[in-house]
Amino acid sequence: MAWSPPLASLPDPQVHGVLTPRELAALAASGHRVHRVGRAAYVHGPGHRWIFGVWGRHEAPPAWHARLRAYRAWWLGRGSTPARRRAPVAPPVQRTPGIATLETAVAAYLEHLAARGDSPHTWRAYRTALRQWLAFTEASGADWTAPGRDHLRAYLAYLVDARGVSRATEAHRLTILRSFYRWCAREGLVDGPPLRGIRGPRGRRRLPRPLSHAQVTRLLEGITDTDPLALRDRALLETAYAAGLRIEELVGLRLADLDLERRCLRVVGKGDRERECPIGRYAVAALRTYLAWGRPDLAATPDPDVVFLNARGGPLHQRGARFRFATLARRAELPPGSSPHSLRHSFATHLLEGGADLRTIQELLGHQRLVTTAAYLQVTPVFAAASYGTAHPRARSRRTAAVAG
């Protein structure tokens, strides 16, 4: 219903603060007449008339109180028609002092990543990419606060021709630059994200390469020795395959993370997200044997609280775990390129072939997005075809359709 400005002879409406849209809707549902103009609302109820500012979940900026008084003058017929849907006045950008060059901006951004709690791998990747951008920009003499499209294309061509990076790495470097310049815009170092509207290369996504059941069995049962290192290797691989752990999650397991009575592990994955992973009886048996007979012989003084130890009694690192897997993979005659991550791919693929749903596999793997887990559907086309044949009403056999009907 369209309202005209009320006559000046009527009682003056009072400015009455700021409401959320939900609160304004509650007033309208309780019998009040509401008229919206932009982000102001005129509310007429029994014996009172109010003017509200309508904002979202956050408080309106102080300048809006003057806007509400302007709306009040218009409703009383004492002022001009206010502009509709006028954007609120943005506060001035506070520029970070002491940052004037690209080198200082890169150093400050890396400190921001470290303070945010990003993983060391992410920090090193960002440092490498930004140092290359710094060297290329300084050599070309371009303005780093407003890099042009030609300068960016020259940088991407430099990565491919001089550095020999893949299309995936090229796209990742562009993503890092976008993140860096978004931070620069928030800090007031640049006028706006200069890389907006620039598309990066799109390459094919590599599919996981899992091992077969026979290959995993050959790898695990190929460890027949009973010395402490062999017991550690058996427990290491059994745990990796039973829980689908990443290599950094595997070597980072603590003794307090094991709950062998309940057959589960507590894992801290990417982004410090915790999850609980069940493990099977083979992994439990291998861990019990290693903790009882292998680890006490390896432990040094003081004894670290990590589960898997190296030959000197210290924590087993990723490089040592990869070296041991490569040795055992050659002994088991696994395909070239097999790595500890192949056991994680095998874990997810074998669960999917066994009938586990995709959402459960996502939780067990610790994936943040379901689309990442959905890549395993392309690895198992036979399973997908079998599921289609039993689920689709036009693909089921007559006997299956009769039972389902």
Residues annotated as catalytic are: 246, 270, 341, 344, 367, 376
Q: Token digits for 209?
A: 């390469």
Helix H, strand E, coil C: the string for the chain is: CCCCCCCCCCCCCEEEEEECHHHHHHHHHCCCEEEEECCEEEEEECCEEEEEEECCCCCCCCHHHHHHHHHHHHHCCCCCCCCCCCCCCCCCCCCCCCCCCHHHHHHHHHHHHHHHCCCHHHHHHHHHHHHHHHHHHHHHCCCCCCCCHHHHHHHHHHHHHCCCCCHHHHHHHHHHHHHHHHHHHHCCCCCCCCCCCCCCCCCCCCCCCCCCHHHHHHHHHCCCCCCHHHHHHHHHHHHHHHHCCCHHHHHCCEHHHEECCCCEEEEECHHHCEEEEECCHHHHHHHHHHHHHHHHHHCCCCCCCECCECCCCCECCHHHHHHHHHHHHHHCCCCCCCCHHHHHHHHHHHHHHCCCCHHHHHHHHCCCCHHHHCHHHHHCHHHHHHHHHHHCCCCCCHHHHHHHC
Q: How far is CA 122 from CA 127, 174, 218, 303, 329, in A?
A: 9, 15, 35, 30, 28
- In degrees and rounded to multiples of 5, residue 350 shows phi and psi of -70, -35
Residues 6+ apart with CB under 8 A from 175: 200
